[in-house]
């Protein structure tokens, strides 16, 4: 680690105690940027990275709500408005009991670089709540979403800050929040993305993150003359991103053998084909049940529950060609990464945000495999949110083909940008450096142009 990065990290840790995920995200980016700051002392003297690390605004608020039995609950709501140099704040909302300020700050920080890579004019933000939607009735979910929006509405707007979904926030929650925003503002605008198709949503937005992660993998594979045809793939998670990752891998002729949730994972050696995927979608999106139920229907599959005594995740310990971590942060540690490489995996495309810890990233980079970090590989979701914003502004919807073509072109261009920046700054083939540098330069130049604000 250079002295510059060491000093920066000491300050970040002192100023932001008890935010390990935020420290991790900053450290990875700072290490990539050391060479850029050496070549461009003007960024260092303008303290661009130091400014990017400090959110422009952090909003925390009380979310009191009454459930269907009349009991009162109090959750905490957040919105991190991280950086608006290249466009309105943009990024998802996460509802999960593990949500803290530090988690949302890491996500908002990543979002700044990711959104910059998309080629679209979007700043970075993230928000959410420690609310746990699991097992709650639709009525409880609606009441919570309305309570959450009854405060958030005063901070957001179609030209200010445009939230979307993330873990625990899908079409249902976006609908309840949009309804409340519209009522409070008396305005029908594109203030949220991931909306329903009948009321301003974009075709392909639900599919976009998973499809994009697979398009990104295809781009990486093509640099070695390979395609996904006939490849065995490991996918984690079983939510929005995981589901459409499986769909696109199947369409491109690959075979997916794993899926998971927070309780455990299934291994289906024959592959999770379109029919089995339709069952998973019904299981997770309609019945909102556990992935374990998969083996009741498909007896040939094996279910393994999470064992808290393990210091590795057995999902990553199967023979395969490609892996798509699509559940949550730090789900791949150094041991998992070593298992993946040992089992023959040579392409990892991250659907989730920061699913690999710093030890794991080092294993992938040292192993010279094709490793696409989340801020590049999963940018298709927010990119298509950007396309939804364009359609809302024009008040004209595009066809499925139009949006999918644009998504594909954007993923191609993110890939090309990563390759070019990695090469230009001396680490060819390193997509971590490529993504961090590519994302940084556009934001940094905009900040230089706009003065100290
Ligand atoms: P969903 O809520 O639809 O699905 C999340 C999945 O991950 C579920 O299978 C869930 O299991 C599992 N999961 C969540 N938290 C944990 C945990 N702590 N440990 C183990 N498993 C967990 O969310 P998404 O699919 O939208 O998000 C998945 C990842 O992709 C996240 O990292 C998110 O930030 C990222 N992402 C999402 C985008 C989007 O457009 N939705 C865009 C870019 C990135 P369970 O059902 O048990 O909770
Ligand atoms: O992490 C992410 O990029 C998302 N959750 C999607 C954000 C968005 O605004 O569509």
DSSP letters of 148-189?
Answer: HHHHHTTT-BTTTEEEE-BTTB-HHHHHHHHHHHHHHHT---
| 150 pLDDT above the threshold of 90 | yes
Domain boundaries, position 291: 208-377
- 419 in any annotated domain: no
Same domain, 245 and 136: no
Same domain, 216 and 360: yes
> Could you tell me the CATH number of the domain that includes residue 99?
3.40.50.10860
Span 319-333, pLDDT tens digits: 999 999 999 999 999
- 426 in any annotated domain: no
Cα 184 to Cα 218: distance, rounded to the nearest angstrom = 44
Same domain, 216 and 178: no
Domain boundary among 377, 398, 416: 377
C-alpha 58 to ligand 1 mean position (Å): 23
Q: What percent of the chain has pLDDT over 90?
A: 99
| 53 pLDDT above the threshold of 90 | yes
CA nearest ligand 2 atom 9, residue: 91
Same domain, 158 and 249: no
In DSSP terms, which residues pair with 234 in a beta bridge?
323
Q: Write down the mean pLDDT value for the chain.
A: 98
- 49 in any annotated domain: no
Band (pLDDT 50/70/90 cuts) for residue 387 is very high
Cα 93 to Cα 104: distance, rounded to the nearest angstrom = 9
Same domain, 283 and 332: yes
Cα 252 to Cα 423: distance, rounded to the nearest angstrom = 29
What pLDDT, on a 0 to 100 scale, did the predictor assign at position 87? 98
Instruction: Say if ligand 2 is within 6 A of residue 381 CB.
Output: yes
Instruction: Pick the ligand that lies closest to the CA of residue 382.
Output: 2
Domain boundary among 154, 187, 220: 187
Mean pLDDT (whole number) for 381-386: 99
What pLDDT, on a 0 to 100 scale, did the predictor assign at position 157? 98
User: And the tokens for 410?
Assistant: 């954007």
- 428 in any annotated domain: no
183 is catalytic: no
C-alpha 293 to ligand 1 mean position (Å): 19
Among 80, 81, 88, 91, residue to substitute to test ligand 2 (most atoms within 8 Å of Cβ): 91
- 392 in any annotated domain: no
Mean pLDDT (whole number) for 390-402: 98
- 153 in any annotated domain: yes
User: And the tokens for 160?
Assistant: 């200010």
Q: What sign has the CA pseudo-torsion 290, 292, 295, 296?
A: negative
Nearest atom, ligand 1, residue 354 CA: 32
Cα 252 to Cα 127: distance, rounded to the nearest angstrom = 34
Same domain, 214 and 183: no
- 228 in any annotated domain: yes
Closest CA to 191 of 336, 67, 79, 334: 79
- 354 in any annotated domain: yes
C-alpha 251 to ligand 1 mean position (Å): 22
> Could you tell me the CATH number of the domain that includes residue 344?
3.40.50.720
Among 134, 162, 166, 332, residue to substitute to test ligand 1 (most atoms within 8 Å of Cβ): 166
CA nearest ligand 2 atom 4, residue: 92
Mean pLDDT (whole number) for 301-317: 98
What pLDDT, on a 0 to 100 scale, did the predictor assign at position 1? 77
Same domain, 365 and 221: yes
In angstroms, the Cα distances linking 292 to 2, 79, 264 are 46, 34, 7
Same domain, 234 and 370: yes
Domain boundary among 377, 404, 426: 377
In DSSP terms, which residues pair with 49 in a beta bridge?
none
Cα 215 to Cα 375: distance, rounded to the nearest angstrom = 14
User: And the tokens for 231?
Assistant: 């490849």
How many domains is the chain built from?
2
Span 6-47, pLDDT tens digits: 999 999 999 999 999 999 999 999 999 999 999 999 999 999
How is the beta sheet containing 232-235 ordered, strand by strand?
Answer: 255-256, 232-235, 322-324, 347-349, 370-372
């Amino acid at each position: 680690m250079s002295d510059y990065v060491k000093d920066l990290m000491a300050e970040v840790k002192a100023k932001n105690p008890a935010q390990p995920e935020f420290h991790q995200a900053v450290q990875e980016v700072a290490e990539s940027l050391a060479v850029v700051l050496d070549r461009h002392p003007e960024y260092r003297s303008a303290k661009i990275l130091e400014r990017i690390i400090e959110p422009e605004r952090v909003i925390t608020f009380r979310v009191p709500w009454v459930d269907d039995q009349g009991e009162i609950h109090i959750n905490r709501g957040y919105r991190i408005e991280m950086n608006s140099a290249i466009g309105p704040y943009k990024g998802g909302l996460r509802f999960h009991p593990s949500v803290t300020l530090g988690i949302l700050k890491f996500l908002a920080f990543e979002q700044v670089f990711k959104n910059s890579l998309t080629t679209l004019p979007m700043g970075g933000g993230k928000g959410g709540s420690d609310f746990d939607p699991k097992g709650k009735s639709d009525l409880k979910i609606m009441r919570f979403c309305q309570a959450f929006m009854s405060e958030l509405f005063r901070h957001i707007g179609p030209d200010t800050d445009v939230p979307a979904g993330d873990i625990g926030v899908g079409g249902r929650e976006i609908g309840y929040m949009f309804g409340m925003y519209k009522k409070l503002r008396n305005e029908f605008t594109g203030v949220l993305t991931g909306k329903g198709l009948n009321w301003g949503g974009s075709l392909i937005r639900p599919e976009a993150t998973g499809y994009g992660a697979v398009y990104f993998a295809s781009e990486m594979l093509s640099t070695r003359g390979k395609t996904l045809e006939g490849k065995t793939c490991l996918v984690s998670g079983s939510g929005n991103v995981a589901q459409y990752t499986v769909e696109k891998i199947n369409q491109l002729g690959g075979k997916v053998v794993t899926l998971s949730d927070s309780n455990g994972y299934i291994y289906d050696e024959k592959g999770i084909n379109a029919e089995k995927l339709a069952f998973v979608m019904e299981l997770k999106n309609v019945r909102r049940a556990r992935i374990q139920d998969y083996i009741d229907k498909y007896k040939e599959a094996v279910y393994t529950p999470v064992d808290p005594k393990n210091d590795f995740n057995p999902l990553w310990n199967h023979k395969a060609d490609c892996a798509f971590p699509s559940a949550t942060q730090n789900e791949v540690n150094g041991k998992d990464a070593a298992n993946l490489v040992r089992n023959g995996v040579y392409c990892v495309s991250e659907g989730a945000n920061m699913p690999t810890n710093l030890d794991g990233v080092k294993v992938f980079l040292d192993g010279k495999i094709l490793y696409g970090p989340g801020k590049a590989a999963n940018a298709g979701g927010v990119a298509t949110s950007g396309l939804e914003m364009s359609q809302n502004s024009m008040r004209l919807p595009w066809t499925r083909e139009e949006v999918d073509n644009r998504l594909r072109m954007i993923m191609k261009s993110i890939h090309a940008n990563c390759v070019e920046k990695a090469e230009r700054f001396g680490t060819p083939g390193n997509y971590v450096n490529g993504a961090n540098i590519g994302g940084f330069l556009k934001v940094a130049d905009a900040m230089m142009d706009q003065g100290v604000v």
